[in-house]
């Protein structure tokens, strides 16, 4: 492509290009500035005993599963109603649910609570209020929700069944004096499986309904944000200006391209 042709296009379309970039960027900035500001606050919690020791693989796996359970429970109506009562809010649980979220960080035992509000202090208060109520809803809290450790109880029942099945299969093999190579392999595999099941069962016991400690620890409480999460006038104006630049550039290239064919 002839550089002189590109320079000729740039000179011919420069006024349109500048006007479009300024108009698009300026309009986006003005419109964004007029929109109401929304602030976000976030808190981070850890599920399990990762901060107080060196948990094993099974315990970490359980904590990951529990973090997903807590994320589901955090924005349910009973918890949100208590947040509303705690902060003396006038909105309903359904309205509050639209501005709050809880997410379990993938492949970790972390849980994040987020809230948005026109007031940065109120956004932080919402998050910290929900954190307090979620901790109170944990097994060792003031208002425990029985469905938190229920999934653990279900896992314990399933593992107990597997342990009993493994023991029943091991017993005749262990009593066999003249075991074949295949039987030896099966016996060793079942014994290893039984050890794993018992370890997992022992790990889950502390998390059960009957023996459940407080599993939530605040790693980072929410604080009032210094700048709004939206709108972002500068970013929006830059994106609009870039879009205008690309549109005018495409129009210019399309309009001038036949001339390039003739000149070549």
| 211 vs 74: which has the higher pLDDT | 74
Q: Is the pLDDT of residue 8 over 60?
A: yes
Q: Is the pLDDT of residue 181 over 70?
A: yes
What is the band of 263 on the pLDDT scale with cuts at 50, 70, 90? Answer: very low
* Tokens read off for 207: 């998390």
Identify the helix (H) or strand (E) that includes residue 219. strand 216-220
| 8 vs 184: which has the higher pLDDT | 184
Task: Say if residue 221 is in the same domain as residue 201.
Answer: no
Identify the helix (H) or strand (E) that includes residue 113. strand 110-117
The C-alpha R_g of the chain, in whole angstroms, comes to 31
Task: Say if residue 162 is in the same domain as residue 86.
Answer: no
**41 found inside a domain:** yes
C-alpha span between 66 and 109 (Å, rounded): 8
Contact criterion met (CB below 8 Å) for 230 and 32: no
Task: Say if residue 65 is in the same domain as residue 139.
Answer: yes
SS3 category, 89:
coil
Task: Say if residue 130 is in the same domain as residue 197.
Answer: no
Q: Model pTM?
A: 0.57
Q: Is the pLDDT of residue 118 over 70?
A: yes
C-alpha span between 169 and 99 (Å, rounded): 54
Q: Is the pLDDT of residue 213 over 50?
A: no
* pLDDT of amino acid 108: 78
Task: Say if residue 84 is in the same domain as residue 160.
Answer: no
**42 found inside a domain:** yes
**3 found inside a domain:** no
Supply the DSSP symbol for 37.
P
Task: Say if residue 136 is in the same domain as residue 225.
Answer: yes
Task: Say if residue 100 is in the same domain as residue 225.
Answer: yes
What tens digit of pLDDT does each residue of 22-80 get? 888 888 777 867 777 889 999 999 887 554 455 555 566 667 777 787 888 888 888 89
Strand pairing category for 39-47 and 216-220: antiparallel
> In whole numbers, what is the pLDDT of the chain averaged over residues?
80
Q: What range defines the domain where residue 159 resides? A: 149-211
What tens digit of pLDDT does each residue of 76-112 get? 888 899 999 999 999 999 999 999 999 988 877 889 9
Contact criterion met (CB below 8 Å) for 41 and 127: yes
**253 found inside a domain:** no
* Tokens read off for 28: 């986006």
Q: How many domains is the chain partitioned into structurally? A: 2
């Amino acid at each position: 492509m002839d550089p002189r042709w590109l320079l000729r296009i740039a000179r011919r379309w420069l006024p349109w290009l500048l006007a479009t970039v300024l108009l698009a960027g300026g309009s986006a900035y003005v419109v964004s500035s007029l929109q109401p500001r929304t602030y976000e606050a976030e808190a981070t919690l850890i599920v399990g005993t990762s901060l107080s020791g060196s948990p094993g693989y099974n315990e970490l796996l359980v904590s990951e599963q529990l973090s997903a359970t807590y994320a589901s429970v955090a924005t349910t109506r009973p918890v949100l109603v208590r947040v509303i009562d705690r902060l003396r809010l006038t909105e309903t649980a359904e309205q509050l649910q639209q501005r709050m979220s809880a997410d379990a960080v993938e492949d970790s035992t972390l849980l994040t609570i987020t809230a948005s509000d026109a007031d940065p202090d109120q956004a932080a208060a919402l998050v910290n209020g929900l954190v307090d109520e979620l901790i109170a809803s944990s097994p060792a809290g003031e208002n425990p929700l029985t469905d938190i450790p229920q999934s653990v109880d279900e896992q314990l029942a399933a593992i107990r069944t597997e342990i009993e099945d493994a023991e029943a299969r091991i017993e005749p093999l262990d009593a066999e004096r003249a075991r074949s190579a295949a039987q030896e392999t099966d016996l060793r595999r079942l014994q290893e499986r039984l050890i794993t099941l018992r370890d997992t069962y022992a790990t889950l016991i502390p998390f059960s309904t009957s023996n459940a400690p407080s599993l939530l620890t605040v790693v980072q409480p929410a604080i009032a944000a210094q700048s709004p999460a939206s709108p972002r006038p500068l970013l929006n104006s830059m994106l609009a200006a870039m879009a205008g630049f690309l549109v005018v550039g495409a129009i210019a290239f399309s309009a001038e391209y036949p001339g390039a064919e003739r000149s070549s």
